[in-house]
Structure 1
């Protein structure tokens, strides 16, 4: 990976912009990373950070709690189970170790993190996938990553094709017995794992094309965790720690790296098998949760739902919002309702190991609508999509990122890798963004999702933020709708709040008063729910197909 292009004399201390290289640099303190040549897995690295902490006891501190059953797994129990599983797997499948791929399909459970850590420690590449995947989707993933073995719950295993080492049922007595192996001494104390080895193949959301397998190395993930560890967020002068509630799917990059982060920081993680808003509120009250990594729809629900008042949420201090942009209106509405809870936004992609920018303190959290500042080991560029020219603060263009967290590439897709990664290591994100004069990143929209109205470009996210602020609107998505005269026009799909009778004309008039004429919403349709990915990203292609079909069927 090319080194960061440092030229201290020309870096603006406010924005981080280097006028000589036209590159934005991180304003964070640098973090120590192990030498690239040192053998080190991400699980070994996370364990080394955990062991340097004196604030918890491995025997008494719970690492994992099942929200529904209240079953707890302490740190020492977790490590014992992981070692036992490693011994059992090596005994049963001696050929498994050494950069073979294991496909994992399971909802969140207390056993899933154990499986991740166990496989990674054996130098097996973990490849978790959505348990709701269809047989054809799973066949595509198998074709991509070529797994030799799968771990799945019995409800999904039937959808998998045959694999060389078969499929292990995670809800079977056979799998559960692997946690009690008597052969832990048979596991080599130190399996050689290079930081350049692949740790995980995670799947991009597929909102702009067919799902791709993103190859992340141990070095990629070490970089992300190092930044989160050494630039720990502070809140009112105290480090944020304690109990975190995971509403995130653990197969998604956000849940994946936040799981490792929680381990490295010695936190207690409360896991929910499937998301349910009421059960989430119950869990916050029951387990005195003080932190939740969430996707924007949950922030919206907390800001708007009447159910919130029925629960004691006083322990909650911080939400970490990622996966999609969170608008200013939603942030302000949430803060008005929860004045003692900070919302820290971050920006990242599967291709960046999940991390790229974030907010590290209360003052930064007031930059509503921003994705925060560049993480310590990353540099950025804003590139004009038409000319390829690198732009300065306040100018919109495609965001490019470079650093040791950037993926190795897309599995079995050299063409897509070449389109996304430049020869000198820059990742083209496909996001239309800008950095302000203080180095805060603002995401305008996906480049491919801009609506082309006559000669103008209209960002759907801008219109969505405005419509979200309308009383009576629960959710919204804006899409391009073909038009003979204009090429495309903005069309809004709106979910009404319960009891709301807001009309198409009222929405159109509200938007028209706040935007330039070319940005007006010219069609409105009402539906029951906006289709979204597990990370909260709007699946616009589904809505476009729905609109073009002229279907009256409800989504």
Structure 2
């Protein structure tokens, strides 16, 4: 992917003196850092500022259609918080392991645990017993919450396991959640996120909602991302969040034509680069749907940048501009020199959503954090002259071939543009002559 240069770096939010990119979004204001509030306090405090303060429905059980109004949600949260704190004696800094499939009880449980300062540690409900044992080893939970279908995989904990289907005031610096990520090494790590981190990400999301403009009615989000993912902490379909392979499937498959998608307003896409050819094919098929790419990572409590609004969504291939509160640098991986707009390098990010560290892994934290709080993302990126961020690929996934650095994502996007290819994957192969393996899934009606 070719990067462009610019004669006016300040239009990209770039300060040549500090070699730092600043957000071009409106400023975002957070509570004073020493204010004794949790992320739950913050979320409830801004509810009255919503564009739809009188909206009543908070959650809908997709299996039964049962609706839980905000008044009931808050009542249940307070009742459960009392039980957890006064009966079970859970308190600040205790860790609760949550192994549950998506259900309406989980958001209520999260709010209750976070409100009393308990650290939430959600795991994948399809994990094996040995994988869950590793999560327990990392986070050291005193209690677990599960369903009747997942409880049998949990080891014995001090306070046991509570089935979800049958106050010591926290500080902003307290760990609020432990999410699991492979980091940059492939071995699973426990990422410690504080109440301050979560407050920051709620503020980012609220800011983007305000910037997107007024709607005639409250949006309805189809939540395709599992609640144990970092997305799980950011609470006729209008909006859908999904990964690029689903977008490719919508373009390539004929199944979308069998459904009425007229109420669909926008798709928010993240987790991997999305090729311009796929975007063009999607817009041709769904011209009324706004396709917005975003970028984030667990160590930054989720979002870093996002395309906002119809005008920005025309910047095909970009993952948008930096959210307020965040700063970024593009750094040459070899010289460690900070680079101006148009130059490719490793993306470094700094802000209040930067994670506290890895559980029981101080060396891993040091390896991933740099001086003055800058987080090295491990992603090859660049900014254009308008401050839009582009992700090329993961640095560690670049393929060295005949002296060149080849980005697998670019080859995959090229292959996916062929009408006969349903999906594609590119991986390096270690052999004396060098080489690359390309795997494609073809449609039976095509010969390639």
Describe the shift of the 1:137–1:218 C-alpha distance in structure 2 as closer, same or farther (beyond 3 A). same
**1:100-111 equivalences in 2 (<5 Å):** 100-111=94-105
**TM-score normalised by length of structure 1:** 0.77
Correspondence 1:493 to 2:443: no
User: Contact 2:225–2:232 (CA<8 Å) still a contact in 1?
Assistant: yes
Query: CA RMSD of the aligned region, Å?
Result: 1.9
1:339 paired residue among 287, 297, 305? 287
Query: Is contact 1:352–1:406 with CA below 8 Å preserved after alignment?
Result: yes
Offset of residue 68 of structure 1:
2.6
Q: Is the 8 A contact 2:329 2:349 kept in 1?
A: yes
Structure 1 residue 237, shift from structure 2 partner: 6.1
**Could you tell me which of 67, 70, 92 is aligned with 1:72?**
67
Name the counterpart of 1:28: 25
Quickly say closer, same or farther: Cα 1:254–1:239, change in 2 above 3 A.
farther
The CA deviation at 1:305 is 2.1
Q: 3-state SS of the aligned residue for 1:348?
A: strand
For the structure 1 residues 395 and 13, does the alpha-carbon distance in structure 2 shift closer, same or farther, using more than 3 Å as the test? closer
Matches of 1:54 and 1:343 in 2, distance apart?
23
Cα deviation digits, residues 319-355 of structure 1 (max 9, x gap): 1112222221111111111111101111000001001
Specify every segment of 5 or more residues in structure 2 that has no aligned partner in the other structure, as ranges: 1-7
Aligned residue in 2 for 1:198: 175
> How many angstroms apart in 2 are the aligned matches of 1:53 and 1:237?
11
SS of alignment partner, residue 321 of structure 2: strand
Q: Give yes or no for the alignment of 1:388 onto 2:336.
A: yes
CA-to-aligned-CA distance 1:409-435 (integer Å, 9 cap, x gap):
111111110000113100000001111
For residues 148-182 of structure 1, the C-alpha deviation after alignment (integer angstroms, 9 at most, x for no partner) is 1111112222112111111112222xxxxxxxxxx
Could you tell me which residue of structure 1 aligns to residue 11 of structure 2? 14
CA contact (8 A) 1:254 1:322 kept: no
Encode CA deviations 1:20-68: one digit per residue, 9 max, x unaligned: 111111101101111101111111101111123362436xx21111223
Local SS of the residue matching 1:116: helix
Q: 1:144 to 1:289 in 2, by over 3 A?
A: same
Q: Does 1:90 align with 2:103?
A: no
Following TM superposition, by how much is the alpha carbon of 1:207 offset from its aligned partner in structure 2, in angstroms?
7.5
Say whether residues 1:369 and 2:317 are aligned partners: yes
The CA distance in 2 between the partners of 1:400 and 1:240, in whole Å, is 38
Q: Offset of 1:239 from its aligned partner? A: 7.8
In the alignment, which residue of structure 2 is the partner of 1:502? 447
- Cα pair 1:101 1:125 within 8 Å, conserved: yes
1:125 is aligned to 2:119: yes
CA–CA separation in structure 1 for the residues paired with 2:217 and 2:268: 11
How much does 1:300 deviate? 1.7
- For residues 461-492 of structure 1, give each alpha carbon's deviation from its aligned partner in whole angstroms, at most 9, with x where no partner exists: 00000001111211111100112023xx2211
Distance 1:72 1:500 in 2: 45
Kept in 2: contact 1:98–1:122 (CA 8 A): yes
Which residue of structure 1 lines up, in the alignment, with residue 299 of structure 2? 351
Q: Is the 8 A contact 2:184 2:378 kept in 1?
A: no
Cα gap change, 1:137 to 1:347, in 2 (>3 Å) = same
Shift of 1:232: 2.1
How far did 1:501 drift?
4.3
Q: 1: CA distance between counterparts of 2:224 and 2:357?
A: 28
Distance 1:502 1:481, change over 3 A: farther
Q: Aligned to 2:371, what secondary structure does the other structure show?
A: coil
Correspondent of 1:230 among 171, 182, 207? 207
Deviation at 1:233? 5.5
**Whole-Å Cα distance in 1 between the matches of residues 99 and 12 of structure 2?**
42
Which residue matches 2:196? Answer: 219
- Cα 1:145–1:349, aligned 2, differ >3 Å: closer, same or farther? same
The C-alpha deviation readout for 1:378-409, integer Å capped at 9, x for no partner, is 11011111111111111111110001111011
| Aligned twin of 2:3 | none
SS of the residue corresponding to residue 430 of structure 2 reads strand
Greater RCO, 1 or 2 (C-alpha within 8 Å, sep 6+): 2
In 2: Cα distance, 1:54 partner to 1:221 partner: 21
> What are the within-5 Å matches in structure 2 for residues 449-488 of structure 1?
449-486=397-434
Q: Distance in 2 between matches of 1:239 and 1:452?
A: 51
Name the counterpart of 2:4. Answer: none
Separation (CA, whole Å) in 2 of partners of 1:236 and 1:454: 49
Partner of residue 247, structure 1? 224
Counterpart in the other structure of 2:353: 405
Cα-to-partner distance string for 1:268-310 (whole Å, 9 max, x where unaligned)? xxxxxxxxxxxxxxxxxxxx11111222222222222212112
1:141 and 2:127 matched:
no
- Deviation, 1:372, is 0.7
CA distance in 1: counterparts of 2:67 and 2:400, whole angstroms: 53
Taking the TM superposition and a 5 Å limit, the aligned residue runs for 1:427-446 are 427-446=375-394
Is contact 1:13–1:27 with CA below 8 Å preserved after alignment? no
Give the 3-state SS of the residue equivalent to 1:251 in structure 2.
coil
Distance 1:493 1:422 in 2: 37
Match of 1:309 among 257, 261, 282: 257
